[in-house]
């Protein structure tokens, strides 16, 4: 009879989680946002190139177009999520003190939210003619 010893806790076995908890979801979200960023960056660059040399009212008019505004908001959200995930991996890999790691991950999350919210606010303000 073989021994069925395991390094996992009974709670982890019930939840079906390994030592990394939600690593697979994190991995896939990082890849999905990377692919989305490629496509959205192309859209962003096309908008920026189309605005070269145009006056401010032309930029506001371009961003007032719902399709352009939605694409730019998706670019900001996807970029902020991707940035947070990437920095979180770096923090988890290179900061070994558990308390400092938790603080750094929290600061990273707050920073990504602040950057995303500021960009979204600016885009929405421009797109609604403010």
- Domain locations in the chain? 23-127
Question: pLDDT per residue over 2-20, tens digit each?
Answer: 555 666 666 655 555 555 5
Question: pLDDT per residue over 16-63, tens digit each?
Answer: 555 556 678 888 999 999 999 999 999 999 999 999 999 999 989 999
pLDDT-based confidence at 128, cuts 50/70/90? confident
Q: Whole-number mean pLDDT of the chain?
A: 88
pTM over 0.85: no
Specify whether the CB–CB gap between 108 and 83 falls below 8 A: no
CATH number at 23-127: 1.20.1300.10
pLDDT (0 to 100) of residue 23: 75
């Amino acid at each position: 009879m073989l021994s069925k010893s395991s390094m996992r806790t009974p709670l982890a076995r019930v939840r079906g989680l390994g030592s990394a908890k939600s690593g697979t979801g994190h991995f896939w979200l990082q890849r999905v946002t990377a692919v989305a960023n490629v496509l959205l960056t192309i859209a962003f660059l096309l908008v920026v190139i189309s605005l070269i040399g145009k006056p401010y009212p032309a930029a506001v008019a371009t961003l007032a177009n719902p399709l352009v505004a939605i694409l730019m908001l998706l670019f900001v959200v996807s970029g902020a999520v991707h940035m947070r995930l990437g920095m979180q991996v770096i923090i988890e890999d290179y900061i070994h003190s558990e308390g400092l790691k938790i603080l750094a991950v929290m600061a990273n999350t707050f920073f990504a939210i602040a950057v995303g919210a500021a960009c979204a606010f600016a885009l929405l303000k421009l797109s609604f003619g403010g």
